[in-house]
Amino acid sequence: MLPKVLKQMPLFEGFTEAELNRLTPLFSFSECAENEEIFKQGDIANYLYLVVKGRVAIRFKPDDGEMLTVAQIEDGGVFGWSAAFGSGYYTSGAYCLSDAALLCVSGEALKRFHIKFPDTGKLILERLAKVIAERLQRAHTHSQVLAMLEYGLTNGVKPLGA
């Protein structure tokens, strides 16, 4: 069943049966309930996630501002990139907006796979880079940050200790 699910994921579109069969043991299946927290901003980044079914919000909390929803990930989407890049910690949190079915793969497993199968590993990294670039172009974060800045300028910001 898992190879069939992987084959349906846009990240693995066009992969051969042999490539999918090599990838299958790396992944585990997870289910999350609506409103469930998958990971917090600042948690150790262990897993990269693929959404099989459902919706997940990616939320970022700046040190001096309100929580921002920076992306909504739906069927076929990918999140938890920090694990794939070995950056140590998640820079945002992930929360289920609906019941969700997810595939998870550890960053360490991806690293070992890339060493053992460099051609397929490179293709996965290229696909991840494309997904990230597209999401950053679509992000509504700019307008949210602008609205926060405008609010601060319009309503004034109290000095510390005031």
The pLDDT tens digits of the residues spanning 4-45 come to 889 899 999 989 999 999 999 999 999 999 999 999 999 999
Mean pLDDT, the chain, whole residue set: 84
Lowest mean pLDDT among 44-48, 131-135, 153-157: 153-157
Structural domains present in the chain: 2-155 (2.60.120.10)
- For 139-148, what is each residue's pLDDT tens digit? 554 555 445 4
What is the predicted pLDDT for the residue at 64?
82
Of 76, 64, 67, 65, give the one whose Cα is nearest residue 40.
67
Whether residue 130 has pLDDT greater than 90: no
Residue 153 has pLDDT above 90, yes or no: no
- Asked which of 35-44, 74-83, 97-106 is least confident by mean pLDDT, the reply is 74-83
Cα Rg of the chain (Å, integer): 18
pTM comes to 0.82
What is the rounded CA–CA span in Å between residue 49 and residue 26? Answer: 12
Half-sphere exposure (Cβ direction) of 102: Cα atoms closer than 13 Å: 26
Q: For a pLDDT cut of 70, what percent of the chain falls above it?
A: 83
Name the token pair of 150: 């405008």
pLDDT average, residue stretch 120-149: 70
Provide the token pair at 69. 């929803």
Residue from 71, 80, 127, 132 nearest 102 by CA? 80
Per-residue confidence at 104, pLDDT binned at 50, 70, 90?
very high
